[in-house]
Amino acid sequence: MSGATAALVMIHGLLGSGSYYDPKAFLLGLDLRTPDLLGYGTNRSVDLGIDLHAQAEEVARVLREEVGEPAWLLGHSTGGAVMMLAADLAPELVRGLISVEGNFTLKDAFWCSRIAPMPEADWAAEYGAMEDDPAAWLEKIGIEASDERIAMTREILENQPYSTIQAMARSVLEVTGSAAYLEGVRRVLGTGVPLYLLGGEQSAAGWDIPEWVLALASQSLVQPKAGHMMMLEDPAAFCGIVDGIVRGHSPG
The CATH number for 205's domain is 3.40.50.1820
Residue 134 domain flag: no
Gap between the Cα atoms of 36 and 41, Å rounded: 6
Number of domains present in the structure of the chain: 1
State the residue range of the domain holding 51: 7-109+174-248
Residue partners of 11: CB distance under 8 A and separation at least 6: 18, 35, 37, 59, 73, 74, 75, 76, 79, 80, 82, 83, 86
Omega prior to 2 cis, within 30 of 0: no
Identify the CA nearest to 249 among candidates 222, 217, 213. 217
Predicted local distance difference test score (pLDDT) of residue 195: 98
Predicted local distance difference test score (pLDDT) of residue 13: 97
Is pTM beyond 0.75? Reply is yes
Predicted local distance difference test score (pLDDT) of residue 251: 64
First to last CA, the chain: 23
Low-confidence ranges of the chain (pLDDT < 50): 1-4
Residue partners of 207: CB distance under 8 A and separation at least 6: 101, 104, 108, 199
Predicted local distance difference test score (pLDDT) of residue 2: 40
pLDDT (tens digit per residue) in 71-111: 999 999 999 999 999 999 999 999 999 999 999 999 999 99
Predicted local distance difference test score (pLDDT) of residue 138: 97
Residue 201 domain flag: yes
* HSE-CB for 149 with a 13 A CA cutoff: 19
Task: Decide: 192 and 200 in contact? Cβ < 8 Å.
Answer: no
Quickly list H helices, the chain: 52-61, 78-89, 110-115, 120-132, 134-140, 147-158, 162-176, 179-189, 211-216, 230-233, 235-248
Return the DSSP state at 25. G
25 burial level (CB within 10 Å; 0-12, 13-18, 19+): exposed
Gap between the Cα atoms of 239 and 26, Å rounded: 6
Residue 159 domain flag: no
Residue 161 domain flag: no
Task: Decide: 137 and 197 in contact? Cβ < 8 Å.
Answer: no
Residue 231 domain flag: yes
Sign of the CA dihedral with 67 first, then 69, 71, and 76 last: positive
Gap between the Cα atoms of 138 and 125, Å rounded: 17
